[in-house]
Amino acid sequence: MNMIEIQENAELFDRNTFHVAAKARYFVEISDIDSVNEFLASDLAAGNSLFILGGGSNVLFTGDFDGVILHPAIKGIDLVSEGVDHVVVRAGAGENWDDFVDYCVRNNWGGIENLSLIPGTTGASPVQNIGAYGVEVMDFIDTVEGLYIKERKPFKLKAKDCRFSYRNSIFKTELKGNVIITRVSYRLRKKPLFNTRYPDLEKELNNYDETTVANIRKAIITIRTNKLPDPAEQGNAGSFFKNPVVTKAQSESLKPFYPTMPEYNMKDGSVKLSAAWLIDQCGWKGRSCGKAATHKKQPLIIINRGGASGKEIYDCAQKIQKSVMNHFAIRLEMEVNIV
């Protein structure tokens, strides 16, 4: 089997969950680690700009890509070590994230069940430190392995060196564009500790007799299926913006004017505000913007109403950003990676 597949002038429509049409000069799919190294040494890699694409569920292509889109399709799940109360399990970057969560839940390994049904690949999970329903993947990552692109040298980073924070990591900052993640190891609990404090989850779990990792997964799947638009029906990339983190003084200055404004106190004393709420207050819920729109239940999600270009979606995002800036003097930062 050929481990490197090269396609020229490739259509990306089915490779991004916004389902915007865009072409890549080259689309390269690589299914083993040695071949990643081999490819990086090639003229094709050296002579072109490179972008790594996993499942395309957090990217927006605003035009054609005149370079190489590299898709790591490295598969495999293996048990690295096992103790009395934990396992370390490693997944190839090309494994589907939710299939991996399902595999762990079936083994009753606890930790990432709250992250059920997040689209994309395991290789992307450390990039923005995926999170949902009170859990962030940083708490369960053991090691991230990959290759530096220019130097073609392998790296292995422990979680503490990945500079994880809310929707951020070293892979979105210092190492952005410089690495290919090939495998990620997760440290999970054989005796699960449940995280059920998120109000929606707590409520949904009332429908189950016991709290188990399997039931948490089921509950999360129910909540997400009812709330979030399915990219197969309405193109989207989940939350378009991050929830803004402001100083205590900033949030306190808004409170007298907006007493119902949701706030979450962070460990470092700063305050996380709800981007959905801010956007909603600006009258953006379910509002169309050319062929794009904000979702009717969750205005933080921008959807493709059909046939929208990436540029059109980007313009819509900028209009939302402007509204929130004018109304609240808060700058919303895009979570989606603009290409």
Give the position of tokens 């040298």.
Answer: 153
The least CB distance from residue 176 to ligand EPU, in Å, is: 18
Active site (annotated) includes residue 251? no
Task: Answer with the entry of ligand EPU, ligand FAD, none that 243 interacts with (C-beta below 5 to 8 A by kind).
Answer: ligand EPU
- Choosing from 31, 114, 116, 128, the residue that interacts with ligand FAD (CB under 6 A) is 128
| Angle at 157 (CA atoms; ends 156, 158), nearest 5 degrees | 125
Q: Which of 117, 13, 114 is nearest to 65 (CA)?
A: 13
Active site (annotated) includes residue 174? no
The least CB distance from residue 37 to ligand EPU, in Å, is: 32
β partners of residue 91? 77, 184
Q: 2 exposed, middle or buried (CB, 10 Å; 0-12, 13-18, 19+)?
A: exposed
Q: Is 238 in the site for ligand FAD (CB under 6 A)?
A: yes
The piece of 3-11, 22-30, 234-242, 316-324 that touches ligand FAD (CB under 6 A) is 234-242
Both tokens of 128, joined, read: 């923005």
- Choosing from 280, 291, 305, 319, the residue that interacts with ligand EPU (CB under 6 A) is 280
| β-strands 59-60, 245-246 pairing | unpaired
* Complex with ligand FAD: residue 244 or 328, whichever CB lies closer: 244
- The answer to whether the CB of 116 falls within 8 A of the CB of 195 is no
Active site (annotated) includes residue 204? no
Q: Is 93 in the site for ligand FAD (CB under 6 A)?
A: yes
Q: Which of 90, 44, 98 is nearest to 69 (CA)?
A: 44
Give the position of tokens 């909540």.
Answer: 223
- Choosing from 24, 127, 138, 188, the residue that interacts with ligand FAD (CB under 6 A) is 127
- The answer to whether the CB of 23 falls within 8 A of the CB of 40 is no
Q: Is 131 in the site for ligand FAD (CB under 6 A)?
A: yes
- Choosing from 29, 95, 204, 335, which is the catalytic residue? 335
Both tokens of 169, joined, read: 């990591």
**Residues that bind ligand EPU in the complex, under the rule CB under 6 A:** 132-133, 238-239, 242-243, 262, 274, 276-277, 280, 285, 298-300, 335
Kindly list the catalytic residues. 167, 239, 335
